Chain A
Amino acid sequence: MQASAQFDTHYRSIYVKRLSIIIGLCIALVLSLMLDLTAGPAQLGLAEIIQGIIDPQSLSLRHQIILWDVRLPDALIALAVGAALGLAGIETQTILNNPLASPFTLGVSALATLGASLAIVVAPVIPFLPNNAVLPAMALLFALLGGGLILAFTKFSGGARESVVLFGIALVFLANALTAALQYVASAEAVQAIVFWTIGNLTKVGWNELFIVSFVFVCVLPFSLRHVWLMTLIRGGEAQAKSLGLNVSRLRALVIFRVSILAAFAVCFVGAIGFVGLVGPHIARMLLGEDHRLLVPGSILCGALILSLASFLSKALLPGVIIPVGILTSVIGVPIFLFLIAKQRKVS
């Protein structure tokens, strides 16, 4: 009786500690968003920004455009894309039981890049589709195609996770090779445009793109949250999960399905922002442990936080000039990552 009470207190204290980490991450995210919103060459302080959000008319036209067309969509898409990649990342790592997995291991981003490259090189005119929507549409289409192939293969191969990972990696190589082939025949300008796209850039999106990414994220999230218990169970070992009656193959197909959609929408507008989907979940895991009830929200928050900080730095490092955000996600993510690994070693 006493032992059980002790466990109970211990569990509670861990839970409270982890919950406070989540709250801490939320606060950090809000701060980072504010930081990101204040960064830029225009003299727009936080007070003016808040005022401008509440009452846009209070700002001059120029500042209105800066706040509403430049800063807000850029800062918010960082959160949306970061969150989507964080969620997609943790789900992929768990369902494939592979710490190196991320949505990009499944070939989603490589295929999105192939689609984008095709759009850049061929620049097709598609009826009923505005010109500036062609590139994201092609990127999305190809990313979804990649997801579809993985899914079909998962079904076909009986859902063994090693073969899914291998198939994903094979897809990555194939897509990379085709992209390289396209670059080989493309003009120098097109090659440069492809390189820009591959590095990733948040500054080209507007409200429509933001709404689309957020909408997809909000649609997928409930399904992920519904499965947090099952995912935690899988972390304890696939054999055990199976013995408890869980249809792992079916769950794997479901997760791959939603992760592909999520990652495809996340990258199609802003380019192949790698790393967030890999390192966000790891940071969350080191902070919060394996319980997916906390790990899933934690991974979402970490992904959003990394991308938001990267977005801030991309504007702040060289005032007036944009450093592509994809360069900075790793620059920020790696030190945090190494710090946590070192800290964990110390503890153990």
Chain B
Amino acid sequence: MITRLVLILWMSFSSLLAMAQIKITDIAGRDIVLTQAAQRFVMSEGRYVVPLSIVRPENPVAGLVGLMSNIGLANPELEKQVFSRFPDARNIANFGGRAENSVSVEKIIDLAPDVAIFGLQDHGPGSRNAELLAQLAAAGIKVVFIDFRMDPLKNTRRSIEILGQIFSQEESARAYVSYYQQKLDKITDTVAQLDTRPNVFFQAHAGRFDCCVAFADGMLGPFIEAAGGNNIADAVAPGPTSTHTEEFLLTQDPDIWITSASGTISDYKAGKKPVALGFGMTTETAQISLASFLDKPAFQALTAVKQGRAYAIWHNYYNSPLNIVALEAFAKWIHPEAFAQLSPELSMQEIQQKFTQFDIKGIYSVALKSE
């Protein structure tokens, strides 16, 4: 009788154990088993606070004990808000500087996380860093790769699901994934019915990089095709990004010119060059910033600029699950009639209210001329 009872107890306990186990296949195709949801974890880039806030809005940084690069590096405003809402976040340790070669494995091990979450290929340790992976595995730290950067169209949804699994927050992950999917389907379906593909030049970091570095088939580059445009840099360039002269722009004379804006309100106020968007910017200031960058004979001669079809998109949509908003903006700019009902700025507010909870008062996409 007693033996039987013990047996039943043991069986139910072990099945409980099996249930608690979390099996994950990460973006690098590696199989990881967690015995429970992550309690202590580290991440490579501070900008991943955004996907964290999607899966665990009540406190995205709870249990986050280490970052390679801090939040403020990519997004100073986000860091300010994280610190004021979650003062403990000030204690998050750094285990590196700005790049993979600055990572201290010893520091990661010392922080004793259950899980280390890295981007497939971000500025931190990559999936090919065999030595680091072996060292962390030996220390009993599970490494999980996510990706919002290399192939965001494909990997964003899966990466959010993985984060949901890691923290046993599948529900909130699923909510965002279906929100994302809905928006993506709408654009994909409409684009499939369109028979024109206007030419688009998508410049990276206008005012920060020399003219003209373009997104070709890397990072946000493929979003141009997905939004129903023809990415003219991708047509000639072999790599993810490419450099062109103004002559290329003048010769190709794209129908639409877009840049990623990596300037901030403080850059704008200081009169610095990069086109600025984001927190604190208004349509007016963003337009001034964009117009002053385009105030050169070569750009003024472009049809896209003359017709006001020159646009800027917030650079931080790159390597972020919010990239769907950039896709909406592109679709609206490339096919204004077909996508008249889309409003990227409203989507951004909606995501903030429904998911991330961070204050995003500002403007994240702008046209040279208001409609």
A residues near B, CB below 8 A?
A: 40-42, 61-62, 65-66, 69-71, 74, 123, 125, 131-132, 183-189, 191-193, 196, 201, 203-204, 315, 318-324
- A40-B245, A62-B301 known; A187 and B236 CB under 8 Å? no
The binding surface of chain B is classed by DSSP as: loop
- A189-B205, A320-B244 known; A201 and B98 CB under 8 Å? no
In contact, B247 and A123 (Cβ under 8 angstroms): no
Select from chain A the residue with minimum beta-carbon distance to B102: A184
User: In whole angstroms, what is the CA distance A323 to B242 when docked?
Assistant: 9
User: In whole angstroms, what is the CA distance A196 to B210 when docked?
Assistant: 9
- A65-B298, A123-B272, A184-B97 known; A41 and B211 CB under 8 Å? no
Select from chain B the residue with minimum beta-carbon distance to A203: B245
Residues of B close to A183: CB separation below 8 A: 98
Q: Which residue of A40, A65, A74 contacts B301 across the interface (Cβ within 8 Å)?
A: A65
In contact, A191 and B252 (Cβ under 8 angstroms): no
Flag whether B174 is at the interface (Cβ < 8 A): no
In contact, A204 and B98 (Cβ under 8 angstroms): no
Select from chain B the residue with minimum beta-carbon distance to A315: B245
Interface residues of B in 63-81 (CB under 8 A from A): 73-74
Select from chain A the residue with minimum beta-carbon distance to B208: A189
In contact, B99 and A42 (Cβ under 8 angstroms): no
Shortest beta-carbon contacts, A-B, top 8: A320-B236, A322-B243, A42-B251, A41-B251, A70-B247, A204-B210, A40-B247, A66-B247
In contact, A322 and B238 (Cβ under 8 angstroms): no
Distance between B77 CB and nearest chain A CB, rounded to angstroms: 15
Interface residues of B in 207-263 (CB under 8 A from A): 208-211, 236-238, 242-248, 250-253, 262
Flag whether B23 is at the interface (Cβ < 8 A): no
Interface contacts (Cβ under 8 Å), in number, total 99
User: In whole angstroms, what is the CA distance A201 to B209 when docked?
Assistant: 12
Residues of B close to A123: CB separation below 8 A: 267, 272
In contact, B237 and A318 (Cβ under 8 angstroms): yes
Flag whether B87 is at the interface (Cβ < 8 A): no
Residues of B close to A203: CB separation below 8 A: 210-211, 243, 245
User: In whole angstroms, what is the CA distance A74 to B244 when docked?
Assistant: 13
Total residues of chain B contacting the partner, CB 8 A: 35
Which of B210, B242, B253, B298: most chain A CB closer than 10 A? B210
Flag whether B271 is at the interface (Cβ < 8 A): yes
Flag whether B297 is at the interface (Cβ < 8 A): yes
User: In whole angstroms, what is the CA distance A186 to B102 when docked?
Assistant: 12
In contact, A70 and B208 (Cβ under 8 angstroms): no
Residues of B close to A132: CB separation below 8 A: 273
Residues of A close to B273: CB separation below 8 A: 131-132
User: In whole angstroms, what is the CA distance A66 to B301 when docked?
Assistant: 10
Which of B97, B247, B248: most chain A CB closer than 10 A? B247
Q: Which residue of A66, A74, A193 contacts B251 across the interface (Cβ within 8 Å)?
A: A66
Residues of B close to A204: CB separation below 8 A: 210-211
Flag whether B346 is at the interface (Cβ < 8 A): no
Interface residues of B in 185-221 (CB under 8 A from A): 205, 208-211
User: In whole angstroms, what is the CA distance A66 to B262 when docked?
Assistant: 28
Interface residues of B in 287-309 (CB under 8 A from A): 297-298, 301
Select from chain A the residue with minimum beta-carbon distance to B216: A321
Distance between A172 CB and nearest chain B CB, rounded to angstroms: 22
In contact, B98 and A322 (Cβ under 8 angstroms): no
In contact, A187 and B272 (Cβ under 8 angstroms): no
Flag whether B40 is at the interface (Cβ < 8 A): no
Interface residues of B in 311-364 (CB under 8 A from A): none
Distance between A119 CB and nearest chain B CB, rounded to angstroms: 11
Residues of A close to B98: CB separation below 8 A: 183-188, 191
